[in-house]
Structure 1
Amino acid sequence: MSDISLAVALALCATAFLAGWVDAVVGGGGLVQLPALLIGLPPHLPPTYALGTNKVVSLCGTAVSAVTYARRAPLDVRAALRLGAVALASAAGGALFASAVDKDVLQPVIMVVLLAVAAFVVAKPRFGGAAPGAAPSRRRRAAAVLVAGVGVGFYDGLIGPGTGTFLVIALVSLLRMSLLTASATAKVVNVGTNVGGLLVFASHGAVLWGLFPFMAACNMAGGWTGARMAVRRGNGFVRVVLLVVVTALVARLAYDQWWA
């Protein structure tokens, strides 16, 4: 913490608030917070410190968002806890394998998927507008465990940015949730992915515990604000933020892939 100036620390705290707000509404706060940490931390620190600090800060904000949603929005607690437990283990596995995978190969694939998601959301104005009365079949629930729990959880441990967005899309598509309910459920699952990744990074000492309390407080404030705003404004507001976040995430990945 002594190597970080007051101006940089304040900028990181402001970024943490914005990231918490974005993450609470539709996911994707990591695309705001992680780059800020990579830029703001002293150059002698390896990138794993940015990843580890991002995880512990995000965990606090996501937990506050999850509690806020649980009190104010419809939430399938049983499905959320089941997926969260699977995602925790999968994210830990992803974090362990992070150094062994060439991310330059994965990023173009992720960009194509995100562009397809954006096109689908634009083409289907009623996507996530309301959950139908019929409960999802056992096959759909199993698919949700594989995609949202195993797949997205592993991705969060491996790369990270956009995890909440992927969770929202998977929950709406597979479990037929509304966007608001999917955002609420995704927060609980995201707590699991953050815990899984954090266990690995913390065990390697890659967390700046001196900076953590200040960024965490701001991230929690942003998460609380974002969750309340999403509940108050409903699915239409979440849909607009989803499109903005998907576009920003594609741009960020494109920059990392070809220009960084």
Structure 2
Amino acid sequence: MWDLLLVAAASGLAGCVDAIVGGGGLILVPALFATYPAAPPATLMGTNKGGAIWGTAWAAGQFARRVQLRWAALGPAVGAALLGSLVGAWTLTLVHAESLRRALPFVLAAILLYTLVRKDLGRVHAPRLAGRAEALTASAIGLAIGFYDGFFGPGTGSFFVFLFVRVLGYDFLNASAAAKLLNTATNAAALALFITKGHIWWQVAALLAAANVAGSLLGTRLALRHGAGFVRGVFIVVVSLLILKTGWDAFGH
């Protein structure tokens, strides 16, 4: 019972953070591995996806009702993200991700530095592209980061947010809303793979899903109430923690 309460609390906090800017896996995945150290890693990852996808999908729905999403561009991007995630998961069965694991902290550090230097980045929503150009660019982002999510995963939501801000000119609030749509698709692809392989604890995943949605509700309300500046601040904190976590995973042991 205490184990379930612990992972449920972690799932709720993860849902809140993930709804604001992504990066909920930074909280929930370590909690699952610490609570169930003897469990197969694939089963813990599948259970994580089984719980987290509901909070992400809930946040996407809430943002869609309150933020004017650019569906003409994001619709194709969702399909591209789904395809990219499937291809990435398949590629992972063929090659090793060690080099990417070691490069990730440096990529995240570059993103953090750029965000800190460009203090105006993502504060104003001023899309740079429109029509087919925007759809193609958003789809390219979806395909690339979707592949990364299926192949490796940490920081997927933050990568989506940064690229929508930097490349497409969205503010952090609109970028976070768009990221939820694409992240739901990539999570769905990964979850489907884990289910077909039998790597999911359904009872635990159901509890995690309920807690994740509750946290997502809180996070979505905070983001919508406080706007792009608040989301930017949370983004900086989450990316900083991701740098520490991925750096430790790559070089700490």
* TM-score w.r.t. length of structure 1: 0.92
Number of residues of Structure 1 aligned to a counterpart in Structure 2: 253
Mapped to 2, the partners of 1:256 and 1:30 lie a distance apart of 14
Is 1:241 the counterpart of 2:234 in the alignment? Answer: yes
Cross-structure match for 1:54: 48
For each residue in 1:198-238, what CA deviation from the matched residue of structure 2 results, as whole angstroms up to 9, or x when unmatched?
11111000011011111100001111110111010011111
The unaligned stretches of length 5 or more in structure 1 are 1-5
Mapped to 2, the partners of 1:135 and 1:144 lie a distance apart of 10
1:97-246 alignment, distance < 5 Å: 97-132=91-126, 135-136=129-130, 138-139=132-133, 141-146=135-140, 148-246=141-239
Relative to structure 1, the CA distance from residue 139 to residue 77 in structure 2 (aligned partners, 3 Å threshold; closer, same or farther) is closer
Mapped to 2, the partners of 1:51 and 1:201 lie a distance apart of 8
Is 1:23 the counterpart of 2:6 in the alignment? Answer: no
* Alignment RMSD: 1.6
- Native 8 Å contact 1:87 1:150 kept in 2: yes
Cross-structure match for 1:255: 248
The unaligned stretches of length 5 or more in structure 2 are none
Mapped to 1, the partners of 2:237 and 2:42 lie a distance apart of 28
Cross-structure match for 1:71: 65
Cross-structure match for 1:3: none
Misfit runs of 4+, over 3 Å = 133-141
Cross-structure match for 1:85: 79
1:86 positional shift: 1.0
Relative to structure 1, the CA distance from residue 198 to residue 230 in structure 2 (aligned partners, 3 Å threshold; closer, same or farther) is same
For each residue in 1:99-140, what CA deviation from the matched residue of structure 2 results, as whole angstroms up to 9, or x when unmatched?
433332102222111111101111111101112265447445
- Native 8 Å contact 1:69 1:228 kept in 2: no
1:26-45 alignment, distance < 5 Å: 26-43=21-38, 45=39
- Native 8 Å contact 1:61 1:223 kept in 2: yes
Q: Which moved more, 1:132-141 or 1:174-183?
A: 132-141
Identity %: 37
Q: Secondary structure at the match of 2:47?
A: helix
